[in-house]
Amino acid sequence: MTIEDDARVRAKGLFGLAPEGFIEARDALARQLAEDREPVLAAAIKKLRKPTVVAWAVNAASRKRPADVAALLRAGDDLQQAQVAAISGKGAGDLRNATQARRAKVAALAEVALGALGARAGAHRDAIVLTLEAASVDPELGGRLREGTLEREATPDSGLGPAGGFQLLQGGDRAGEDDATEEDRKREAKEAERTAVVAEREAERAARRAEQLRAKARDASASAEAAEAEARRLADEAKTLRRRAART
């Protein structure tokens, strides 16, 4: 474990604080460690950065749902294995299933993170999803997610790991196949996954927009019904008044 890793572990409790209290608590911990004759660790803790809003929300979700974090990291491993199989020209169905499974785990944790943000949630939804996707396939980010010590949101290519999430294995029954063909397959699989992720996000945004429009339509319909009822009431009142006038 590096001194930076040790510093994050020792300062783990700080990441559970509201962001505005992080700096003061961090500096107090660094001073205490310096007084306890641990200057190297104190200096490392002093360098820790206050989590961004997105990182803080994801950390909060991690602390609240550790079992869901573990499930997400397993889903990320399964997705990477399925990607390797897909590059080799097999397991397309497994890749689709693994992608859907990871998406479900990301969505579950994202909702917890969004709940922690309250009214501020809407502006950070996409960044939270991207960060969770990245952590699911990146060992370092995954470790920080498990600890709840992320400092910054992640914006990787398609939310996948190194080289677009594809980690090629050596050997196998296709080793020795033409390099250009293998490279083409890798590129096509990577592009297909990127396109799928973009399409999924667009579909999610469209679904949210559709729900907003439906809500507005419901409100408008209720207003129209109320207006019609008021018009009928006034018309009936006018008829009553005319009848009274005719009798006088």
One domain for residues 129 and 196? yes
Let me know if residue 60 belongs to a domain: yes
Let me know if residue 210 belongs to a domain: yes
Q: Which of 43-57, 146-160, 199-213 has the lowest mean pLDDT?
A: 199-213
One domain for residues 113 and 152? yes
Mean local confidence (pLDDT), 122-144: 93
Let me know if residue 197 belongs to a domain: yes
Let me know if residue 176 belongs to a domain: no
Domain that holds residue 12: 3-46
How far apart, in whole angstroms, are the C-alpha atoms of residue 241 and residue 63? 69
Let me know if residue 198 belongs to a domain: yes
Predicted confidence at residue 204, as pLDDT, reads: 62
How far apart, in whole angstroms, are the C-alpha atoms of residue 120 and residue 6? 32
How far apart, in whole angstroms, are the C-alpha atoms of residue 81 and residue 95? 8
One domain for residues 22 and 61? no
One domain for residues 34 and 81? no
One domain for residues 128 and 24? no
One domain for residues 16 and 85? no
Q: 76-79 — which CB contacts under 8 Å span 24+ positions? A: 76/102, 76/135, 76/136, 76/137, 76/142, 76/161, 78/102, 79/136, 79/137, 79/165
Closest to 152 (Cα-Cα) out of 69, 49, 245: 49
Indicate the pTM of the whole model: 0.62
How far apart, in whole angstroms, are the C-alpha atoms of residue 11 and residue 5? 10
One domain for residues 94 and 159? yes
Predicted confidence at residue 171, as pLDDT, reads: 36
One domain for residues 153 and 103? yes
Render pLDDT for 97-125 as a digit per residue (tens, 0 to 9).
Answer: 999 999 999 999 999 999 999 888 888 99
Render pLDDT for 20-34 as a digit per residue (tens, 0 to 9).
Answer: 899 999 999 999 999
In the structure, what pLDDT confidence band is assigned to residue 50 with cuts at 50, 70 and 90?
very high
Render pLDDT for 51-79 as a digit per residue (tens, 0 to 9).
Answer: 999 999 999 999 999 999 999 999 999 99
Let me know if residue 248 belongs to a domain: no
Structural domains of the chain, count: 2
One domain for residues 103 and 185? yes
Let me know if residue 232 belongs to a domain: no
How far apart, in whole angstroms, are the C-alpha atoms of residue 124 and residue 57? 9
Mean local confidence (pLDDT), 202-221: 68
One domain for residues 30 and 79? no
- DSSP letters of 130-194? HHHHHHHH-HHHHHHHHHT---S----GGG--GGGG--PPS-STTTTS-HHHHHHHHHHHHHHHH
Let me know if residue 190 belongs to a domain: yes
Render pLDDT for 165-189 as a digit per residue (tens, 0 to 9).
Answer: 433 333 333 334 344 455 666 566 6
One domain for residues 20 and 113? no
Q: Is 221 exposed, middle or buried (0-12, 13-18, 19+ CB in 10 A)?
A: exposed
The percent of residues above 90 in pLDDT, for the chain, comes to: 44
One domain for residues 62 and 38? no
In the structure, what pLDDT confidence band is assigned to residue 247 with cuts at 50, 70 and 90?
confident
